[in-house]
Amino acid sequence: MVTAEMRAQTLRKLRAGSGRLTTAALKSLDANYKWFSDLPAQERSWVGTVAQAGVDAFIGWYENPSAHTRGAAEVFAAAPPELTRSISLQHTLAIVRTLVRIVEEQSDDFAAPGSEQALREAILRYSREIAFSAAEVYARAAETRGAWDARLEALVVDALVRGEVDDDLPSRAAALGWKPGPTLVMVGSTDGPLGEVQSAELRRTIRRAAPGALVGIHGEDLVVIARSDLAIADLAEHLLGCFGNGPVVTGPPAVTLLEVARATRAALSGRSAAPAWALTPRPASADDLLPERVLIGDTSARDRLIAVAYDPIVKAGGSLGETVATYLDCGRSLELASRTMFVHANTVRYRLKKVAELTGWDVLSTRDAHVLETAFALGRLRDSSRTVL
Q: What is the mean pLDDT of the chain?
A: 83
Q: Is the model's pLDDT at 128 over the cut of 90?
A: no
Strand 249-250 and strand 284-285: pairing? parallel
What integer is the mean pLDDT of 38-63? 80
Q: Which residues, in sequence order, are CB contacts of 296 under 8 Å at separation 6+?
A: 269, 272, 273, 276
Confidence of residue 368 (pLDDT cuts 50, 70, 90): very high
What integer is the mean pLDDT of 170-176? 80
What is the per-residue pLDDT across 20-43, written as a single tens digit (0 to 9) for each?
Answer: 888 888 888 888 888 888 888 888
Q: Which residues on neighbouring strands pair with residue 215, listed in sequence order?
A: 224
Closest CA to 319 of 364, 273, 351, 287: 351
User: Pick the residue with more confidence: 37 or 347?
Assistant: 347
Q: What is the pLDDT of residue 327?
A: 92
User: Pick the residue with more confidence: 376 or 78?
Assistant: 376
Residues 243, 181: contact at Cβ < 8 Å?
no
Complete edge-to-edge strand list for the sheet that includes strand 221-227: 214-218, 221-227, 183-189, 249-250, 284-285
Helical segments of the chain, H only = 4-16, 18-32, 34-37, 41-63, 72-76, 83-86, 89-105, 107-110, 116-162, 169-175, 196-209, 232-239, 257-273, 290-295, 299-309, 311-315, 320-329, 334-341, 345-359, 366-388
The answer to whether the Cα torsion of 252, 258, 261, 265 is positive or negative is: negative
User: Pick the residue with more confidence: 96 or 284?
Assistant: 284
Return the percentage of the chain with pLDDT > 90, whole number: 33
DSSP string, 342-378: TS-HHHHHHHHHHHHHHHS--TTSHHHHHHHHHHHHH
Confidence of residue 243 (pLDDT cuts 50, 70, 90): very high
Q: What is the pLDDT of residue 96?
A: 72
User: Pick the residue with more confidence: 137 or 114?
Assistant: 114
What is the per-residue pLDDT across 286-344, written as a single tens digit (0 to 9) for each?
Answer: 999 999 999 999 999 999 999 999 999 999 877 899 999 999 999 999 999 999 999 99
User: Pick the residue with more confidence: 373 or 12?
Assistant: 373
In three-state secondary structure terms, 133 is: helix
Confidence of residue 104 (pLDDT cuts 50, 70, 90): confident
310-388: CATH class: mainly alpha
Phi then psi for 221, rounded to 5 degrees?
-90, 135
Confidence of residue 218 (pLDDT cuts 50, 70, 90): confident
In three-state secondary structure terms, 56 is: helix
User: Pick the residue with more confidence: 183 or 98?
Assistant: 183
Closest CA to 186 of 249, 132, 130: 249
Q: Does domain 177-286 have CATH number 3.30.70.2730?
A: yes
Q: At what angle do helices 41-63 and 116-162 cross, to 10 degrees?
A: 130
Q: Is the model's pLDDT at 234 over the cut of 80?
A: yes
Return the percentage of the chain with pLDDT > 70, whole number: 86
- 103-117, 142-156, 340-354: least confidently modelled range: 142-156
User: Pick the residue with more confidence: 57 or 23?
Assistant: 23
What is the rounded distance in angstroms from the CA atom of residue 339 to the CA atom of residue 330? Answer: 10
Single-letter code of the amino acid located at 25: A
Q: What is the pLDDT of residue 285?
A: 94
DSSP string, 32-45: H-HHHHTS-HHHHH
What integer is the mean pLDDT of 124-142? 67
Closest CA to 310 of 321, 326, 299: 321
Give the single-character DSSP code of 30. H
Q: What is the pLDDT of residue 76?
A: 58
- 92-96, 132-136, 222-226: least confidently modelled range: 132-136
- 151-155, 211-215, 245-249: least confidently modelled range: 151-155
Q: Is the model's pLDDT at 91 over the cut of 80?
A: no
What integer is the mean pLDDT of 242-258? 91
Q: What is the pLDDT of residue 147?
A: 58
